[in-house]
Amino acid sequence: MDSLRQHMRDHLIGPPASDPTGNVLKFRQPPLSSAAGAVLALVTEAAELMRSVEKDAAERQARAEALVARAIEQLKLAKERVQAADAQRCEAEARVEEFTVRIREVGTALEHANCQIVAAEAQITMAEERAKLAEKRAAEAESQFKRIETAIRTQILERGSNGSSSAAAVA
């Protein structure tokens, strides 16, 4: 078994070395036939192609991970924006409700004020009617007062003329 190990070590180029990916060992190349050389060239080309494919796969994996990380970050930002918008919507709904209550209160106050205006107008109309009636009574009273005054003057003048004719008759 030791001789087999020694034989394999002799065929290796220096100490066992691996390629950058750690998958391929480099062997010392003994003189080969052209068919064996072609096979070895194909094997080497296949190994290089595999390394290239693995490198491309690793790059694609890194790009995919970066894209996923960016997408996750964008989703987090979008979620935060949705939450902020939802909070603003709730706040706006609360303000709308508050304004609705205020509008109802103002509407009630306006209806109450309108009722008071209607009542005040009715009172004004009644006061105007009473004032007209009072003016009419005052005019009637003044008219009666003038008639009484005229009657008194007439009687005084009649007495005065009767009194002067009786005084002349007595004299």
Specify which residues 25 forms β-bridges with. Answer: 18
Query: What is the C-alpha to C-alpha distance for residues 102 and 100, in angstroms, rounded to an integer?
Result: 5
Query: What is the C-alpha to C-alpha distance for residues 23 and 64, in angstroms, rounded to an integer?
Result: 24
Residue with structure tokens 């970066």?
66
Least confident of 66-70, 123-127, 132-136, 156-160: 156-160
Tell me the two tokens of residue 157. Answer: 């003048």
| Residue 8: partners with Cβ closer than 8 Å, 6 or more residues away | none
Task: Say what the pLDDT of residue 156 is.
Answer: 87
- State mean pLDDT over 91-106: 96
Task: Say what the pLDDT of residue 158 is.
Answer: 84
| Helix/strand/coil for 24 | coil
Task: Say what the pLDDT of residue 48 is.
Answer: 94
- Per-residue model confidence as pLDDT tens digits over 13-35: 444 445 555 566 565 555 557 88
Share of the chain above pLDDT 90, in %: 63
Least confident of 27-31, 154-158, 161-165: 27-31
- Return the H-helix or E-strand segment holding 16: none
